[in-house]
Structures are given as C-alpha cells and as structure tokens.
Copies of this chain bind each other. A is one copy, B any other.
Amino acid sequence: MKFDDKVPIYYQIKNYLYHEMITGQLKPGGKLPAVRQLAVDLTVNVNTVQRALGEMMTAGIITSQRGKGNFVTTETTRITQLKEKLVMEELERAYEQLHALNLTDDEIIVGLKQYIAQRGQRND
C-alpha cells in the first residue's frame, strides 16, 4: 500500500480500514485480517497496525477478542454515522481549501463538475 509520507501511517491505516467497512469489504460483525497479516499486507510493523486498531476500538468501531481476532461492530448505525462523518469532513475540507484559493461557491461547483466530466473520459 502507498502511504502519504506527510501523514502518520497509523492514521492512514485507520482510514483505509474505515473505507473497507463503509464500502462493505468488511461487513458488520465480520472478522478483520489478523494483525500480523495486516502488517505483512501493508508492509508495516505490527505495533503500527496495533496503534491504528487501538483508536478504532476507542471509537467503538471494532472490538477485540483475545485469541480470536478483531471484529467489526455489529451496530450498523455506527458504520453509517462513521460514513456521514467522513463524508462531511471531506466536503468541509475541500470547500475550505478551494474557498481559500479564492474560488466562489459557484466556481467550486463548476470546477468539480468539470473535473468529473473530464475524468469520465479516462478509462479506469
């Protein structure tokens, strides 16, 4: 996995796993890969994985069962709320950045539409 070296890896791992849950790759009640396996997959140290998981436990998104594994919460509302939170944070971030670059509200919307339209022409 590629990491942005401007942001702590454990933080990016947390976000990666959140995305996996929101997109349904990891389902409510489902089991996460073993910490050592995650470490190998992400080419990262076990402690770094553990740190990411620790924050996810604190947030109540995953639960840990010693000897068994780590599991996504069965409370689907938590996942829904998590998605809403992440979407809102991203919208806010993008808006503020673009606004700070002197773009008006309309220019921001038009800019995004153009970007998507242009991107649509690519084949990926």
Contacts and interface: CB of A to CB of B under 8 A. Distances in A.
Interface of A: 6-8, 11, 19, 22-24, 83, 86-88, 90-95, 97-98, 100-103, 105, 108-109, 111-113, 115-116, 119-120
In the assembly, how many copies of this chain are there? Answer: 2
Nearest to A91: B115
Contacts of A24: 102
Contact of A109 (B8, B94, B116, B120): B116
13 contacts: A6-B7, A6-B8, A6-B11, A22-B101, A22-B102, A23-B102, A83-B101, A87-B103, A88-B115, A90-B97, A95-B116, A95-B119, A112-B112
Contact of A116 (B6, B23, B102, B105): B105
